[in-house]
Amino acid sequence: MFSIEHDFDSTVITLVDEGSAHLQEDVIINAFEDCVTVEQYDARADAVRSVTLSRAQLRDLGAALDLPEGVYRLRANR
């Protein structure tokens, strides 16, 4: 399950792990104009862990999900 909310300066997507066993904490994705942050609560450290991706890194991640092993560089559409 997931939710989408539009805040003043970002779009917030929350991913909720559903299922029977070994559930993970919610993942919160904040999409800003210049970057995307991914956050998840870490119960062992009692802290929220955060990763920041540039728009280029996010584009590369999206492409990587559909490619086999290897090293790639995306070219601009011409």
Low-confidence ranges of the chain (pLDDT < 70): 78
At residue 14, the pLDDT reads: 94
Whole-angstrom distance, CA of residue 18 vs CA of residue 32: 27
What is residue 68's DSSP assignment?
-
Strand residue runs (E) in 16-78: 27-31, 35-42, 47-54
At residue 78, the pLDDT reads: 60
At residue 18, the pLDDT reads: 92
Query: Structural domain boundaries of the chain?
Result: 2-64
Q: Which two tokens stand for residue 22?
A: 């070994």
Q: Give tens-digit pLDDT for 9-24.
A: 999 999 999 988 889 9
pTM above 0.75, yes or no: yes
